[in-house]
Structure 1
Amino acid sequence: MNIEETRKPTVLIVDDTPTNLTLLAGLLKDQYRIKVANSGKKAIELAAASPPDLILLDIMMPAMDGYEVCRRLQADEITRRVPVIFLTAKTSTEDEELGFSVGAVDFIHKPISPPIVIARVRTHLRIKAWQDFLQDKNLWLEKEITQRLSDINRLQDASIYVMVSLAEFRDECTGNHIRRTQEYVRILAKRLAELPRFASVLTDAKIELLAKSATLHDIGKITIPDHILLKPGKHTDEEFTVMKTHAQRGYDMLRQAGDLMGEHGAFLHHAMDIALYHHEKWDGSGYPNGLAGNMIPLEARLMAIADVYDALCSRRPYKAAIPHDDAVNIILQGNGTHFDPYLVDVFCAVAKDFINVAINWPD
């Protein structure tokens, strides 16, 4: 077969009458590659093995009529996009309605008119060529969008890394606090997602966004003066007042970053809520806004438990680390005052998993 022949569109002709196959093949063979089948079963086999560009399909055939052949072609992912033109002596409106309902694109009535056959085949092959072009273009666009999103995600990850590294550089005594709390939030959220109340809210993608956002919970601390941030002892009331401003300042920094980028997507939304509200308390005694109960965003309530647990179990210049069991008891004591009672129950269910995180990310 020469190159010109392979470039021709392929037309599969299906008819149980040999004279009809010969007539149609002779009519179309100069313009198209022709395949023939004398039964519905054979037509389906040929189409599945190498999908043609168009099918001319007789309706009234023994064993399997054209309607059933068309249904099966439409049900197969390989052949569903191949246009089917019915060849039939049936002329009623009901017959045509049924044909269109099973997936045909057109009807040619027998006895055939050669000019009509040629014109209909040419028209539907042109339509299919445009559909294929648009399909290929859509696939290309999807690949491009996926690549661009991947590039954006890598840039986002790099930006987060730079900001987190800056925060860690300013506050070296916290060691791997940021990485540990990220994992604690992930553990809590995954456990929460197993419960009916949160199953539809905490999807896998949402949990990963929360975990990524959690790394920026203390980003506002880079604005706190060194003599307060790095003080090796308890803060005075005045110093603590300044320290507490890191929540609002972190929120403002992230909001301004979103303004500069021209968008406030889900990631920044979660990061801003965590930065601003993770020091709020369930009973309303926290800061900066004194929110209470479910008014505190869920991500901030998760972060509150992760942050406090890690602070308790970590050594600081002004305090020693305490054992895991003691930290768990302190969080239990804050049930309903500092922490969401529902999330405290979840924490208790996964608290032992926190130990492995602490082992993997020591200071």
Structure 2
Amino acid sequence: MQDRDKVLIVDDEQAIVELMGLYLRSEYDVVSAYNGQEALEKIRSDKPDIVLLDVMMPDMNGYEVCRRLKTSVETQFLPVIMVTALSGKDDRIKGIEVGADEFLGKPVNRLELVTRVRSLLRIKHLQDKILAERNDALGYLDAAGFIVVVVDPDLRINLINRKGNEALGYEEFELIGQDFVKAVVREDMGDEVRTSLLAALAGNSKLPDYWEIPVVCKDGRHITIRWYDTLLGGNGGEVTGLICSGEDLSIFSKDV
């Protein structure tokens, strides 16, 4: 039997929690919380698949709870529906700014509630599948004995494997989103490397078979990495980024 999705309902009014729970119990397992701090604790302990979150609560309002969830690596993809009696445009904008996925007005309409929960859970299941496939791919990359860095057309780092983080001295997510050239390439080589990579990404030149570039580790050490770069393409043939695989040459010099 397939496990049922779990819904966390958060509201400081017990009657509202019970009513929404009644609407959802036939399809989902329901967990309840009555304030913001309890909601965060239930998310850690019960691992819900979606959160229905009241905005106006006395200790920690729904905006702050949502902000914490969406800025945490562990819960950033957890769907959050803000449930509120507030109807102003500014309130909705504030919810969007903290990462809310959907909004429901009070009093809650049963059909609207069920429809939006189903829709967001469908999206979450697709995201979970994609993330699982990504994690499998990362597992293979982490098992490789070489550095792997994936950058977008703006040279922002989208992915770096464990070997890369270890070689450069960073934690798992520290380099994600950073400019590849600014973050790791030695300053005196930065302009040359940036110009070459951007020209290749724009289709104006070819990448070299390989090149040896001095890079700077987090602790300030300089090491030389031999990079083998490959352009990444989308289904329409457009260039979507660059995969850089490299080997730390300083390891070999120590062995000599």
TM-score, length basis structure 2:
0.58
In the alignment, which residue of structure 2 is the partner of 1:207? 224
- Aligned-partner residue type, residue 64 of structure 1: M
In the alignment, which residue of structure 1 is the partner of 2:47? 51
**C-alpha RMSD of the superposition:** 3.5
Provide Cα deviations, 1:76-129, integer angstroms capped at 9, x if missing partner: 222222110011111111111110110100001111110000000000000000
Write 1 or 2 for the structure with the bigger share of helix: 1
Checking the alignment, whether the CA contact within 8 Å between 1:48 and 1:78 is kept in structure 2 is no
Q: Indicate whether 1:16 and 2:33 are aligned.
A: no
- Aligned-partner residue type, residue 30 of structure 1: S
Take 1:40 and 1:196, find their aligned partners in 2: how far apart are those partners?
46
- Please report how far the alpha carbon of residue 75 of structure 1 lies from its aligned counterpart in structure 2 after TM superposition: 2.5
Q: Indicate whether 1:81 and 2:77 are aligned.
A: yes
Match of 2:66 among 67, 70, 82: 70
- Please report how far the alpha carbon of residue 150 of structure 1 lies from its aligned counterpart in structure 2 after TM superposition: 4.0
- Please report how far the alpha carbon of residue 40 of structure 1 lies from its aligned counterpart in structure 2 after TM superposition: 0.6
Structure 2 counterparts to residues 237-256 of structure 1, below 5 A = none
Q: Indicate whether 1:25 and 2:8 are aligned.
A: no
In the alignment, which residue of structure 1 is the partner of 2:169? none
- Please report how far the alpha carbon of residue 266 of structure 1 lies from its aligned counterpart in structure 2 after TM superposition: 7.4
Take 1:15 and 1:126, find their aligned partners in 2: how far apart are those partners?
24
Checking the alignment, whether the CA contact within 8 Å between 2:225 and 2:246 is kept in structure 1 is no
Write 1 or 2 for the structure with the bigger share of strand: 2
Take 2:111 and 2:93, find their aligned partners in 1: how far apart are those partners?
24
- Aligned-partner residue type, residue 92 of structure 1: G
Relative to structure 1, is the Cα distance of residues 113 and 40 closer, same or farther in structure 2, using a 3 angstrom cutoff? same
User: Identity over the aligned pairs, expressed in percent?
Assistant: 31
Checking the alignment, whether the CA contact within 8 Å between 1:13 and 1:21 is kept in structure 2 is yes
In the alignment, which residue of structure 2 is the partner of 1:217? none
Relative to structure 1, is the Cα distance of residues 266 and 103 closer, same or farther in structure 2, using a 3 angstrom cutoff? closer
Checking the alignment, whether the CA contact within 8 Å between 2:63 and 2:98 is kept in structure 1 is yes
In the alignment, which residue of structure 2 is the partner of 1:115? 111
- Please report how far the alpha carbon of residue 14 of structure 1 lies from its aligned counterpart in structure 2 after TM superposition: 0.1
In the alignment, which residue of structure 2 is the partner of 1:169? none
Larger Cα-atom Rg = 1
- Report the secondary structure of 1:12's partner residue: strand
Aligned length: 172
Take 1:81 and 1:132, find their aligned partners in 2: how far apart are those partners?
9
Take 1:38 and 1:266, find their aligned partners in 2: how far apart are those partners?
51
Checking the alignment, whether the CA contact within 8 Å between 2:214 and 2:225 is kept in structure 1 is no
- Aligned-partner residue type, residue 48 of structure 2: P
Checking the alignment, whether the CA contact within 8 Å between 1:51 and 1:78 is kept in structure 2 is no
